[in-house]
Structures are given as C-alpha cells and as structure tokens.
Structure 1
Amino acid sequence: MIKYYNRKQNKYEIEKVAGEKYLNWSYSSPSGKGLVELLLKKKLFSKLYGYYCDTKISSKKIKNFIKVLDIDMSMYSKNYNEYSSFNEFFIRSLKLGARIIDKNDNILISPCDGKISAYENVNLNKIVQIKGFTYSLKELLQDDKIYNLYNEGTCLIFRLCPTDYHRFHFIDNGVCDHTTKIKGHYYSVNPVALKNINKLFCQNKREWSVFHSDNFGDTIYIEVGATCVGTIIQSYSKGSRVLKGAEKGYFKFGGSTVIMLFKKNAVKIDDNLLLQTQLGFETAVLMGEKIGLK
C-alpha cells in the first residue's frame, strides 16, 4: 500500500498500483527477488515486452487497464479505442488546454505528472533515494566534472507510475544540451523496489542532459528507465531554443522517474512539498503545476 499526499484536497490517499501483489512478491520474497535478478531486471525482458506492447493485439489491454486503474480519459486527445497498440495509448498526448502552465518567469512548474519528493541543501554523496537508501550524484551521472557544481543545491524526484501521463516537459524557456545515455538494469521504480534495491537509480538505465534555463540557471534533467521501459525517447532538438512547457520527451511502457538538480539558491521549493517529503510521503503533482519560486 502506497500512501501519498493530495495537496489540492489537503489529504492522504492510497495509490492504485498496477500489479501491486506481483510487485510486493517480486521485491520482498526470496523467490521473487531471484526472478528479478535472473530475468526481470534484464534488458531482454523489457525489450521483448516492449515489442509486445507495440503490437495491435496489445490494444486489447487498454479498456480494462483504464477501468481497473480509474484513468480519466477526458483530458486526452483520443478515445481508448482509437489507439492501435498499448504503447500508443501509454504515450498518449493531452488535449490542448488539459494542463495549465503558469508562464510567470518566477514560477517553477512540474515537468511531468507524478509523485514528487523534494530535497534542499543536498549532500552530493548522500542524495536520498528513499528513507535509509542514498546514492551519490557522481555515480548517477558517471561524470567527474559537472556533478560537484550542484552541492547544497535542490534535488527533485518525480515518480511516474504506469497510470500517469508519460511525457515530460521543460520547466522554463531556454536551451538544452545533448543527452548522455548510460546503460543499466531495468528494476522497478515503485517504492517497494526502492526499499529493497540499494542505489537503484544508479543501477538502472538512464539519460541526462543540462538545460540552460533562462530563470533557474543550469538545471540537470535525468530520466530513469524501469522494468518494461525499454525506451526513453528524447523529442527535443539539441541546442534549439524551447519555451516553457514544451515537450522534452517521453517514456514507453512502465513506471519511470525524472530527477532534476538545481544549483544552490536557484529555486525555493513550496513548503508543503518539502514538509511531506520530510514526513516520508510523496505529493501528487501535474505537469505545469507550480512547485516553487525563483
């Protein structure tokens, strides 16, 4: 059971998790852990499942997936029966106006839908994965130069579950550099897995880039793959100027994670997000929603 904070309604809610019993078994029992290490974390498994999700027959899963997980389709550009495969449904686009993006230069918006954990004054050698588990930014980026520029800065972790809108966007006007791709495993990023796999983000497949934001300085975007996420698509053009709210890329099927790093004093995150993180809870946010100030 995953409890998160709904700040719009000022209450805690229980997340609907796709395959919750299976996830608990896979990452908590000896036999399940054995299967994860033997097969589920491997690229081949996610790649094969990705192929299936690209087929027409996979579209038969869509209707029941929406019903069981109570997905509101009114905000999306197509009806459920208009998608030719499950992956096409999974990377679905929003209707125009489905998300309100605050264009104020001083407002930091969420880059995606998901559950956020927020940390200020981060120690680069002990960035929090989940309570009791930490990792270093140097390990995450595998870069000896850039990581130390973010000491005592701000780290935001956005967890996207399979039910979420799976496109991620730019938080400001600016220019994004090239993407560095790092090979890795495909562990689930569900909190059940985060509690059981040490330095999970540093072990999984991931991609990162530096976004030269007009108002928040040089910001690191890191996209982390997960079980059944065989592909991370970057849809932006390196070196081209983008506008706040423009699409950066998207994940194909599975839960995924976006991590953002800001330099010291570049941003002030909303107090309720920081408080809930300190209390051990993620907070639900939508792409374009205000999460901080310059």
Structure 2
Amino acid sequence: MSWYLRSIIDLVSRFLSPTTMHFPLHKVDKPLEHIHPENNNLPGLSNEQAAHGLVALVDHSEHHTDVSQGIHASTHTLFNIPWIHSLIPGIEKLAAEYHIGNFVALRGSKEQIFEAMPIYARIGMHLLFYGNEQIKVLHSQTVESLLKEQSIKEGKLYDSPDSTASIPSFVSTYSLDTSELLEPDVTKYKTFNEFFSRKLKPDARPVENADDPLAICSAADCRLTVYQTIDLAKQFWIKGREFTIPNLLGEDPSSEKSSVFDGASVAIFRLAPADYHRFHSPIDGTVADTDIVHIPGQYYTVNPQAVNEPGFDVFTANTRSVLYLTHAATGLPVAFVAIGALLVGSIGWTNGGEKGKAIKKGDELGYFAYGGSTVVAVFPKGVIEFDADLVANSVVPVETLVKVGNSLGKTPAKV
C-alpha cells in the first residue's frame, strides 16, 4: 500500500481554508492521486496542451486579479471555473475521481489536514511525469526550458505595481492572518512580490527554548520532514536517484567539505504558496566567512509527489543557493540550502548574506519571492537529535505543519 493511502487511513482531518479539506475516516470516498508515468490520470491531455495550459495560467494572472479563478485554483474548486475545463481536457474528471494534493500532520494532535495542490503545480507535474524534461512541447521548447521561462515570467509579473490588485484574493484564497504582519494594511505593499515576502511582527514567531544553546528550531513556516540519516531520507522521502549530500551542495564527493557531512541528518522545510516566505536560522552561531554558493538549475515543482518519485531528482536538479553557518555549540558547519521551484521568482539573502555575522536561532536569513519552495538544512552526524514526534511522522511518511521557532530538536550534551 502506498504512503498516500496509508495517510488516508490514518487521518482525522479538519477544515481550515479553501485550499484545505477534511475527510472523517468513514467518509473518505476517493483515493489520493498517485502520479506515475505508467498511470496517466489525464489521458486526454497531450504534452502540448499541458504546455499551453501552463502558459495560459501565467498569462491569466497578469490580467485577472482573482487568483482562485486561475493560477491558484485548486482541483476541488475547478467545477466552477469553465475556462480551465476547456483549456485542460480531463482535469474535471480527474478532480472528481481523486483528491489531488497531500496530507499534513497537525503537530500536537492526532489530526491531519488535506492540502489541495494548486492547478499550476499539477500541470507542471503532468509535463514532467507524462513526458520527459527534454521533449519538445511548445514552439520547440523543452519542458525544462518552458518551466524556467514561465517561472521567470511569473516573477516579473508579480514585481509589477499592477500586481497589487491580486493581493486581496490571495489573502482570501489562503485565509491569511494579516494581523500578524509588520504591515497589516495590504494596500501599503507596492507589488505582489513585496507582499509575498512580507515581514511579520517581531513577536509573531516566538522561539522555543531560545536561551538553550543546544536547542535547534524550525527555519520556516512549512510542512516538515526530518531524517536522522541520509539513508532514512532516501528510504522514506527523497527518491531521486542522484540525491546525495555532495550533489545537493554542489561539492566534489571527495572534498573535505563533503566528508564533514558523511552520515548527516537532514531537515526538509517545504513552503507552500500560502506560507510566510522568509526563512530563519535554526541554530545559534555565525554566518560562515565564505561566499554563498549559487547553483543554477531547473524549476521543477517541490510537491511531495515529485520528491517521492524515483525518476526525478528535484532537490539536486533545481536552482538553489547554499549558505554555511557555524554552529556555536559544536563549532561544526551546518549547510542551509534554499531551493527554488516552479514559479519561484528568486532567492534573496538578508542576514545570511553578511559574512561572519553572529546569529541567534530564529534570526532571519533570507526570503523567497513568489512561489512555493523548500529549504534543506544539513547537520553533521551527531549535531542534532530530532524531536520524537517529528521523526514518527516522517517515517509514515507524512509532513508536519510547523512554524518558525518551533522546536526541531536538540544537540546531545555529549557532543
């Protein structure tokens, strides 16, 4: 049985927003979609039609301000959006037969929520799973070049002053709490991207165990998985054939830097579009006196279905930036990898860009512009012992909903 179906069997869910749904155990009436090249659930959709669909969704966001009726439409609302039905053949039938998205555990409870996948991510996944990233799909473009082009285009659209008109519908679609924002008046933001990388009030994300130098906290508002070893991460979550820590960091496997992370532990923080998109230090320490390493790459979706698919090396293929922090308690390096994704405009560094800067856990390091994305923190062996509840969820496997500053784990005193 797949982990998707096990998640359904284990869940007790509740309704939170238009992009989440709850299904009491005895009322689950359809399975979670398991995307796979051998099980094409959109048989009527050609790769060229999918490519046209993604382009049309991006273009639609330039001229229509209600994001829920276009780029952020979720599959359970598609029945009310006729233009998408005609644009993407088969999507209505798919929505009727499957729940398209994934389950997330609510920390501190036995409940899970179902988070619907935005339509743009589902179409991006269709292009990858039901074709090949090198195939020609539109105007002789490959899938990978199309995804990159549209990601850059969306970032530019949301850098435009006109894009502010989409902010209210985005707030409504994802039921965002504007009272926690440093600037709660959404009319004060000059672009959609400025709102997307919004800052919070200083007390909005208190850091647990802030005075304990051995405590380690969540780096982001996110859906989190943690693995004490890379082998466990590859067994339960990251199925890409090329995933290794050296590949993730862009390092030679025989280098000294790579050897520091032999047997490393990883925390994977996936940020959904609705999340606060600034990321923070998980440790007390300093920013290393070395340059941030920028690694060019693709713009694949970081949705769990893509990360869990053996045929796609999402984390090591996507564009990313690698920052090194020096952990105060052990003197060892911690790698902090910000990974771009489908329709992410850019990765920006704030405190993380200041070499030698002393930081406390919870201090801001940087931000993502528009899109959902992922941060991966890599800890040398023995630096962290993850909290037991996070470990238990991760081996189901199911992500856990956490906030910046929530406890991630602790450095064992013996280290």
Q: 2:399 matched to 1:260?
A: no
State the partner residue of 2:226: 118
Mapping for residues 210-225 of structure 1, pairs under 5 Å? 210-215=324-329, 217-225=332-340
State the partner residue of 1:241: 358
Report if aligned partners of 1:113, 1:287 keep a CA contact under 8 Å in 2. Answer: yes
State the partner residue of 1:28: 126
Q: Return the letter of the residue paired with 2:222.
A: G
Instruction: Tell me which protein shows more strand as a share of its residues.
Output: 1
Rounded Cα–Cα distance in structure 1 between residues aligned with 2:317 and 2:162: 32
Q: Return the letter of the residue paired with 2:341.
A: A
State the partner residue of 2:302: 189
TM-score by length of 1: 0.91
Q: Return the letter of the residue paired with 2:237.
A: I
Aligned residue for 1:2, secondary structure, equals strand
State the partner residue of 1:270: 387
Q: Return the letter of the residue paired with 1:116.
A: L
Q: Return the letter of the residue paired with 1:188.
A: T
TM-score by length of 2: 0.65
Report if aligned partners of 2:236, 2:397 keep a CA contact under 8 Å in 1. Answer: no
Unaligned stretches of 5+ in structure 2? 1-100
Between 1 and 2, higher relative CO (CA 8 Å, sep ≥ 6) is seen in: 1
Rounded Cα–Cα distance in structure 1 between residues aligned with 2:235 and 2:176: 30
Q: 1:69 Cα deviation (Å)?
A: 1.5
CA deviations 1:171-227 (Å, max 9, x no partner) are: 222211221110111111122333455111111100112200112532110110012
Rounded Cα–Cα distance in structure 2 between residues aligned with 1:133 and 1:185: 14
Q: Return the letter of the residue paired with 1:59.
A: T
CA deviations 1:18-40 (Å, max 9, x no partner) are: x2x34223313647975781544
Report if aligned partners of 1:16, 1:69 keep a CA contact under 8 Å in 2. Answer: no
Mapping for residues 1-294 of structure 1, pairs under 5 Å? 1-17=101-117, 19=118, 21-28=119-126, 30=130, 34=137, 37=143, 39-42=145-148, 44-78=149-183, 79-102=185-208, 103=210, 104-123=212-231, 127=234, 130=237, 132-134=239-241, 135-144=243-252, 145=255, 146-177=257-288, 178-196=291-309, 198-215=312-329, 217-236=332-351, 237-294=354-411
Deviates more, 1:87-96 or 1:164-173: 164-173
Rounded Cα–Cα distance in structure 2 between residues aligned with 1:31 and 1:45: 18
Aligned residue for 2:377, secondary structure, equals strand
Rounded Cα–Cα distance in structure 1 between residues aligned with 2:258 and 2:131: 38
Instruction: Tell me which protein shows more helix as a share of its residues.
Output: 2
- C-alpha change, 1:193 and 1:243, in structure 2 (3 Å) is same
Unaligned stretches of 5+ in structure 1? none
Rounded Cα–Cα distance in structure 2 between residues aligned with 1:56 and 1:150: 44
CA deviations 1:264-287 (Å, max 9, x no partner) are: 111110111111110010001100
When the two chains are superposed, the root-mean-square deviation of aligned CA atoms in Å is: 2.2
Report if aligned partners of 2:284, 2:361 keep a CA contact under 8 Å in 1. Answer: yes
Report if aligned partners of 1:127, 1:136 keep a CA contact under 8 Å in 2. Answer: no
- Percentage of pairs with the same residue: 28
CA deviations 1:56-77 (Å, max 9, x no partner) are: 1111111111111111222111
Q: Return the letter of the residue paired with 2:249.
A: L
- C-alpha change, 1:13 and 1:138, in structure 2 (3 Å) is same
